């Protein structure tokens, strides 16, 4: 009888130890997966809201606004691209993470269907990002979402990799320096543009960026209108008033700003408040 009780006691101890070991292993695995997730999404897992839910979206001439998680766009079916892409870029979002480049895919949220990437094949034009992949390296999902075809426009390689790339890098520099930048970018879409592919994707002759910053309640705005050819000119030579770009596009870029402030900012083409 004594031996049987001893055997049962030992058996119970073994079961208890096995259960403890299993629990410890499970907790470590869960912790590892959580840490791995944090590496893939370094910003999102710090409980920071970086979605595009801000009050500075432009007006749309097409009434087809698409809200992705980290940027919004207004798709223009006539020209088979976005007339604008808008997003908030903060210093926290600037990252040097290196994610594998995905394939371009159609945007499932565009009701009229975004142009297929095959329109660009052998066209002589790059698939030029409007919201740059380089601005969205803070998470893998944000990075991948820039590869919807609604977020591209035909650009010559020397322009895409040249002056336009220089301007994109400068925007990231300002996001770090000024903490938060609201960015609107697109091509100037007008009649009689060259087109590529069976869907006749328009090739803009000019591209623009409009930037808004609010530091300690002090607003400042700057706009760039850049011919779609490479240039060695300094960036400040492409600075124009926002009013000019509004006249060229029919878009009101910051309609929710107080009218007097909006008018003052949009008439100005002084770049001296921005560090070049």
The angle at the Cα of 95, spanning 137 to 131, to the nearest 5 degrees, equals: 40
Instruction: Quote the DSSP letter at residue 45.
Output: G
Q: How many Å apart are CA 59 and CA 225, to the nearest integer?
A: 19
Reported as a pLDDT band with limits 50, 70 and 90, residue 58 is very high
Region 243-265: mean pLDDT is 95
216-252 per-position pLDDT tens digit: 788 999 999 999 999 999 999 999 999 999 999 999 9
- pLDDT of 53 reads 42
> At residue 118, does pLDDT exceed 60?
yes
Report the candidate in 169, 149, 152 with the shortest Cα–Cα distance to residue 161.
Answer: 169
The per-residue pLDDT for 56 is 79
Can you give the C-alpha Rg of the chain in angstroms?
25
Give the model's confidence band at 25: pLDDT under 50 very low, under 70 low, under 90 confident, else very high.
very low
pLDDT class for 32, splitting at 50, 70, 90? very low
Q: Mean per-residue pLDDT for 200-223?
A: 95
Q: Hey, CA dihedral for 27, 30, 34, 36, is it positive or negative?
A: positive
Q: Is 129 a catalytic residue?
A: yes
Q: How confident is the model at residue 215 (pLDDT cuts 50, 70, 90)?
A: confident
pTM score: 0.81
Query: Which of 116, 103, 109 lies closest to 144 in space, CA to CA?
Result: 103
* pLDDT in the model for residue 55: 65
185 dihedral zone (left: phi>0; alpha: psi -120 to 50; beta): beta
Distance, in Å, from the CA atom of 231 to the CA atom of 234, rounded to the nearest integer, reads 8
Give the integer Cα–Cα distance in Å for 179 and 215.
8
User: Which entry of 97, 113, 129, 157 is annotated as an active-site residue?
Assistant: 129
């Amino acid at each position: 009888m004594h031996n049987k009780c001893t055997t049962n006691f030992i058996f119970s101890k073994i079961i208890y130890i096995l259960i403890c070991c299993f629990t410890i292993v499970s907790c470590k695995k869960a912790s590892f997966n959580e840490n791995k997730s944090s590496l893939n999404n370094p910003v999102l897992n710090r409980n920071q809201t970086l979605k595009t839910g801000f009050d500075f979206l432009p007006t749309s001439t097409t009434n087809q606004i698409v809200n992705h998680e980290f940027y919004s766009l207004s798709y223009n079916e006539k020209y088979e691209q976005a007339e604008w892409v808008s997003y908030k870029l903060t210093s926290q979002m600037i990252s040097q993470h290196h994610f594998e480049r995905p394939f371009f895919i159609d945007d499932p949220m565009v009701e009229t269907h975004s142009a297929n990437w095959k329109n660009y094949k052998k066209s002589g034009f790059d698939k030029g990002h409007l919201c740059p992949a380089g601005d969205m390296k803070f998470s893998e999902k944000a990075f991948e979402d820039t590869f919807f075809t609604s977020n591209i426009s035909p650009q010559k390689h020397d322009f895409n990799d040249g002056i336009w790339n220089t301007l994109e890098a400068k925007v990231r520099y300002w996001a770090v320096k000024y903490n938060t930048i609201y960015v609107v970018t697109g091509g100037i879409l007008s009649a009689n543009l060259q087109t590529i592919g069976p869907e006749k994707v328009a090739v803009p002759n000019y591209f623009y960026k409009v930037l808004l910053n609010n530091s300690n309640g002090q607003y400042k705005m700057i706009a760039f209108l850049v011919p779609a050819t490479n240039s060695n000119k300094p960036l400040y030579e492409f600075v124009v008033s926002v009013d000019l770009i509004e006249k060229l596009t029919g878009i009101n870029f910051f309609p929710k700003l107080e009218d007097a402030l909006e008018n003052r900012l949009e008439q100005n083409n002084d770049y001296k408040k921005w560090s070049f």
